[in-house]
Structure 1
């Protein structure tokens, strides 16, 4: 069997290693450059590879192709040719899952999926479970399956990874929320993106579970018009359920069939903000399904450290709090960030716009934002929408300038918030680079 891997990054190299271990004839092809450390791994394992090109003769003879999630199938000529020939093009998760007996917990959503994934992993690991972490985070899932050490995995899955599954079914699936994102990959049709997220539950059976945000319109609409066999576990900030998770009298309650009810005062949790209450309800629902004791869950919820670049408190300087929310790459994520601000805010925003509608933020900007610093190559849309709403609006083209300007505009008791609502590729390598540059600039003030 010939396995061709398109993309020589973490998921590609992990898949190649698993394929080789399982007896496949493996070839890795990357149209860009493969990082030196990954090349070394491929060479040590005797895996053939190429970079800077896709040699058709070495690719179109594949029995199966694993495509890295970053390659858009509609735009990639080689993927189009593979599909035309009827060669299966699948994701890393789909390729790896037959080679493990481990239980998987899969988490998707437009926002909150990283925090929910990390919190779920933290809850299970703290309880002593032999659990791995993969998908969009950390070490490749396929690579971990090749080493085969874990009884269960918590996987963060993007819509791109879900597009490449055919038979994969998680025992527990979570959809944190759905808001317009990556629409350029879905013909600018929101319905297609929503359907893509719900692929997470398409193979689930009556023995499996789907945990979801019952306050989310797109999710509610899909569930009204479509069926899943999975047992449904909703969570909500406003509704209560016989089976599900909810907030009542400043307390989080989680009721799962045949399990002792879980309650915890929300103010004793490490995470702050309404969106984090939702992330906590989703993660706690998993912990209850995995039969973890209430005392262990409470302890883990109160000592969780949060996720880097997501509402990360950097420093307080002259009584001004600097917050790094570089992971907010869409309007919905920035909405949550602004919503959790309790002081006058100097907001650093901008980057590569993915078709954003900034009007959704209007009421929050009016209420909370005193100044806007635009950090992007093209800030026209932001200026058009908010130009008359805030007292001060400035354009800068480096993170250092943005932070220095923010320091000038902020007064004692204010917050400086980096929450860009955009992708980072105009001025930075990725959102991590953007967040790290912000932290560095703040530390140099």
Structure 2
């Protein structure tokens, strides 16, 4: 019996444990932190051996294969030992994909992954049997075991792509590439780019690669590598013969001489970046033979993603917008770009080596006040202190929202778009977004 050891007892770890056990592996789960009660209960009920708050080396190094949670960096001593012992280390998407014949649509990119994945799922689910997994929702491995969908839309991070060998999506989407998570890639941007491009490395000429043709990083990389799959770029600026482009408020998609034209006047998602997300998702839907009418209607009734430019409430004619999911500068760039009124901007958190220069034009043009919400706000004061009349710092979400309420006038926006990770004052970006919404509702 082959031994499967799983590092990390969260959603992907426990899902992989269940699938591994069902496929005849001897399974052991090990987590350095405490495993949440809901996951412990699943492991106990399924008689899967586990440990938490420790890693027992002898039990781990006896593995034939290790599935490690994407949150664990390769730099960790234990991971180095596993690799030195010649034990194969895989990610959940690699392990689960072996046990399904479903059509896989995999989506990666620095920004727009979640919106594009959720929107693609929304478009496909009208006419096909399709699961949504990866970095989002229920574990992919668990769904392969329990639901066995014919299609999956997978939101895939670079960390998950680092540990693939044979993972081969029928359709791969790369939304964009901007510097992010460089702390995991030896602060070398090219290592991070290479990681994202692993999404196409096992594709053949029967597969498809959908990508942003306006993204210089992607275009340059494509000039220097050979990929087997059929390219279907999308663009806001160029006319694309095979793929999708945007002109006169319409999206035009052409695949094998089959063209569909979609007006965008009634799309619920706002901002240019969401036109791109809509082009990517609609291209997948067109590829998988979803009817034109269905695509159009689905784009018009899609509600968007929580914590992503989410309109919370309007109070005294001031619109409060939750964009807590903007954990890097590029995401905040899109948020500020889409603001159409004077904006009170709540920003800050754990800085990942951010360069705020690209935000300067928008801050000068649209932002009337800045509220810094982080433990260390010095860099924000240096970057933006001279651009706005009001710049204030606080450590509390409730206080940030109260300050915003005082500073904002009728017709303004109050935007939470942190451009930083959330771990200094909050559990995660969801916690940060929920605290913002609660504070707004309590005004």
Q: Which TM-score band (shorter chain)? A: over 0.9
* 2:78 corresponds to: 78
Equivalent runs, 1:407-426 vs 2, <5 Å: 407-426=405-424
Unaligned runs of 5+ in 2: none
TM-score normalised according to structure 1 size: 0.99
Post-superposition offset of 1:149: 2.4
Assess if the C-alpha contact under 8 Å between 1:5 and 1:29 holds in 2: yes
TM-score normalised according to structure 2 size: 0.99
Equivalent runs, 1:28-427 vs 2, <5 Å: 28-74=29-75, 76-126=76-126, 128-259=127-258, 261-427=259-425
For residue 268 of structure 1, give the secondary structure of its aligned residue in structure 2.
coil
Q: Distance in 2 between matches of 1:249 and 1:255?
A: 16
**Paired residues, number:** 442
1:282-306 deviations in Å (ceiling 9; x for gaps): 0000000001110010010000000
Post-superposition offset of 1:265: 1.6
Q: Distance in 1 between matches of 2:408 and 2:248?
A: 35
Is it true that 1:436 corresponds to 2:410 in the alignment? no
Q: Distance in 2 between matches of 1:349 and 1:148?
A: 40
Post-superposition offset of 1:8: 0.1
1:384-432 deviations in Å (ceiling 9; x for gaps): 0110011110001100000000001100100000000000000000000
Assess if the C-alpha contact under 8 Å between 1:400 and 1:441 holds in 2: yes
Q: Distance in 1 between matches of 2:36 and 2:69?
A: 15
For residue 382 of structure 1, give the secondary structure of its aligned residue in structure 2.
helix
Assess if the C-alpha contact under 8 Å between 2:100 and 2:148 holds in 1: no
Assess if the C-alpha contact under 8 Å between 2:337 and 2:362 holds in 1: yes
1:85-116 deviations in Å (ceiling 9; x for gaps): 11011100111111111010000000000000
Assess if the C-alpha contact under 8 Å between 1:100 and 1:148 holds in 2: no
For residue 187 of structure 2, give the secondary structure of its aligned residue in structure 1.
coil
Q: Distance in 1 between matches of 2:15 and 2:148?
A: 15
1:174-210 deviations in Å (ceiling 9; x for gaps): 0000000000000000000000000000000000000
Q: Distance in 2 between matches of 1:310 and 1:379?
A: 23
Stretches (4+) displaced over 4 A: none
Q: Distance in 2 between matches of 1:140 and 1:441?
A: 31
Q: Distance in 2 between matches of 1:42 and 1:378?
A: 40
For residue 254 of structure 1, give the secondary structure of its aligned residue in structure 2.
strand
Unaligned runs of 5+ in 1: none
For residue 419 of structure 2, give the secondary structure of its aligned residue in structure 1.
coil
